[in-house]
Amino acid sequence: MTETGSVWMAEWAAAQKVKAPSMKNESVFYRNLEEELDLARQTGHSLPLHLPNHEIDFSSCDVIGLGQSGALRKEFLQELADNPNFHLGAGGSRLMDGHTRYQDKLEREIAEMFDVESALVVHSGWTANQAIFSTIPRPGDVIVYDELMHATALAGMKVSLALEQRLFRHNDVDSFIEVLEEVRDSQPQIRSGKRCVIIAVESYYSMDGDICPLRELIDAAKEIFPLGNAQFVVDEAHSFGVVGPKGLGFVSELGLEKEIAIRMHTFGKALSGSGAVILSNNTVRWMLINHAKVLICSVAPPFTLLAAARAGLRLMRSEEAQKVSASLIGAYGVELNASQARDRLQYLTKLYLDTLTSNPIYKKANAKGLLRMPMHEEEDWHDQPFITHIVPIWTKSKHAHYLSFHLVSDGINGTPIVFPIVPKGEDRVRLIMHSYNTEEDVKTLVNSICSWAQEMLEIEASGDKNRLPKAAQRAFDLMKKVAAEDGVDGTKETNGVNGTNRANEIANGTM
């Protein structure tokens, strides 16, 4: 096991120690909070904060290497030097004293870049989605959304004034049409064009790594609502920077800019910064500025956020400016501009899929249901003009942590994603490709996945239901050690919970 893997496992194990039972004489306020936290600890799902210490990155969102290469840092420092009299904080909300010339200039530049009337820069993707969905749907409108919309959008919808919210099955055009027809038939004001349907989708879905059938959805919406009162909101968090002309995103790649009422792009993924921008016309902009409480009641974004975004956007649109370090590229020994980095990202993603799916161990594990990639089962990625860099590996229930432990042991940061982040039975390890990964990195990842799969195949063939893969066994042994630190004979925690038994139950999936 690598040293980084040992640290990660130790931190995970420490995070599973239950605390509430030992707090009987302490404040009920904190005890109630610890009881809630213990629900995750009891199932091994308590998540500690880890300092990045992996050897190979297949998890971060710095997909085209603006951050990793140091190019963004250099450009950001130049931006600071060009604006020596900047104020760190905005000093107020946008409607008070927080609206600066610098932010106004940045927003005008972004609007010109995307050829839209308005670009409204906000603190984060969460802020953007909260502002959009809590404000834009008006009384009598209906929100129709893909069932896998991001949690930040769903949070905004919860405080929306919309009459109704209806979901359709993920990326299912027939389900979408069925829901729209039901809305049309049941809502006279929408049918007559007096109220609207607000349709919410993502371009690239963050947990499944698949792509929205946007053109087909737009065509269907136009046919069902010919009066033009069906309008789209597209979350482009994961497509911005990696697809489209100069990385402008999925909507621009398809040439559908005029068909979309609102686009939301984040700066924290491919741009390797922070914040987000809402692209729209001026009507939407004024509505958000005057009615979105999350914006009205918040201090405007600080200069550092704006400067980093401006630096990143300049790198992204200037094809000759952004260079990815030759040492990171490795095999080619050349520097890449932003466009070449996007091409390399596609190449490495397809190389990974080719290498993994052609491995006989993967094929056997896939046939046994131990590993699968539902978005890539048809092996048609070479026929697609582009695919997403998000390539999750789905596992059996409870196995996502096992695979994650194995990857971490090999120095790879694979993140386990389980319920309630994804539906029950859809546990997975989320993997993300980067332009700065090397072919050798990809080979190491595939070898690690397949060595784990081979171990699981052997365990399954043995019929021993209590046997664990080696990396997972090490993790749960650490958990037992932590649980027994203050106990008697190494079997009980100070709170009386049998820590050893609990670790066994979690490991074997009986808790």
Closest CA to 268 of 234, 226, 311, 238: 238
Which tokens hold the place of 136?
A: 């834009």
Taking the C-alpha atoms of residue 485 and residue 482, their distance in angstroms, rounded to an integer, is 5
Residue 201 CB partners (closer than 8 Å, separation 6+) = 145, 146, 149, 212, 214, 217, 232, 233, 234, 235
> Taking residues 292-312, what's their average pLDDT?
96
Q: How far apart are CA 321 and CA 315, in angstroms?
A: 6
> What is the domain class of 72-317 according to CATH?
alpha beta
Per-position b or e across 251-283, b if 16+ CB within 10 A of its CB: bbbbebbebbbbbbbbbbbbbbbbbbbbbbeee
Q: How far apart are CA 435 and CA 39, in angstroms?
A: 39
pLDDT class for 336, splitting at 50, 70, 90?
confident
Please write the tens of the pLDDT for every residue from 107-128.
999 999 999 999 999 999 999 9
CA distance to 50, 479, 489, 500, per residue, from 485 (Å): 22, 10, 9, 11
Asked if pLDDT for residue 495 goes beyond 50, the answer is no
The strand pair at 142-146 and 118-122 is best described as unpaired
Rg (CA), the chain: 25
State mean pLDDT over 413-421: 88
Query: Tens digits of per-residue pLDDT, 210-261?
Result: 999 999 999 999 999 999 999 999 999 999 999 999 899 999 999 999 999 9
In 3-state terms, what secondary structure has residue 241? coil
Do residues 356 and 381 make contact, with C-beta atoms less than 8 angstroms apart? no
Yes or no: domain 3-67+337-479 corresponds to CATH 3.90.1150.10:
yes
Please check the confidence at residue 83 and state whether its pLDDT lies above 90: yes
Task: Note the pLDDT of residue 322.
Answer: 44
pTM of the model: 0.92
**Is the pLDDT at 54 greater than 90, yes or no?**
no
Least confident of 87-101, 347-361, 484-498: 484-498
Q: Which long-range contacts (CB under 8 A, 24 or more apart) does 46-54 make?
A: 46/15, 46/16, 47/15, 48/11, 48/12, 48/14, 48/15, 50/8, 50/11, 52/413, 53/4, 53/7, 53/8, 54/4, 54/408, 54/411, 54/412, 54/413
Residue 378, pLDDT score: 75
Question: Is the pLDDT at 494 greater than 50, yes or no?
Answer: no
Closest CA to 105 of 244, 252, 303, 249: 303
CATH 3.40.640.10 in the chain: give the residue spans.
72-317
Question: Is the four-CA dihedral 182, 184, 185, 188 of positive or negative sign?
Answer: positive
Nearest to 140 by CA among 177, 192, 200: 192
Choose among 283, 284, 196, 274: nearest CA to 237. 274
**Mean pLDDT: which of 187-196, 383-392, 458-467 is highest?**
187-196
* Residue-level pLDDT at 375: 85
pLDDT at 334: 55
Share of the chain above pLDDT 90, in %: 74
Distance set, CA 493 to CA 31, 37, 383 (Å): 17, 17, 56
Q: How much is the pLDDT for 508? A: 59
Helix (H, G, I), strand (E, B) or coil at 377: coil
pLDDT reported for residue 381: 83
Omega cis (within 30) before 420? yes
Q: Kindly tell me if the per-residue pLDDT of 471 is higher than 50.
A: yes
Enumerate residues 6+ apart whose C-beta is below 8 A from 479.
12, 13, 16, 44, 499, 503, 506
Residue 506: pLDDT band by 50, 70, 90 thresholds? Answer: low
pLDDT tens-digit map of 371-397: 999 888 776 788 888 899 999 999 998
The residue length of the chain stands at 511
CA–CA separation, 186 and 174 (whole Å): 18
The answer, yes or no, to whether residue 74 has pLDDT greater than 90, is: yes
Provide the pLDDT for residue 481: 87
> What is the H or E stretch that residue 277 is in?
strand 276-280
Contact (CB, 8 A) for 409 and 384: no
Rounded to an integer, the average pLDDT of 133-155 is 97
- Mean pLDDT comparison of 361-375, 470-484, 486-500, highest-scoring range: 361-375
- Mean pLDDT, to the nearest integer, of 18-31? 94
Q: Check residues 499 and 261 and name the one with the higher pLDDT.
A: 261
Amino acid at 272: S
Position 486 scores a pLDDT of 52
Q: What amino acid occupies position 166? A: R
Q: State what percent of residues in the chain have pLDDT above 70.
A: 91
pLDDT at residue 503 greater than cutoff 70: no
Which segments of 320-438 does DSSP mark as H helices, in order? 326-329, 338-357, 360-367, 399-409
For the ranges 50-64, 135-149, 174-188, 480-494, the lowest mean pLDDT is seen at 480-494
pLDDT interval class at 321 (50, 70, 90): very low
Pairing, β 276-280 against β 262-266? antiparallel
Give the model's pLDDT for residue 488: 34
Mean pLDDT, rounded, of the chain: 90
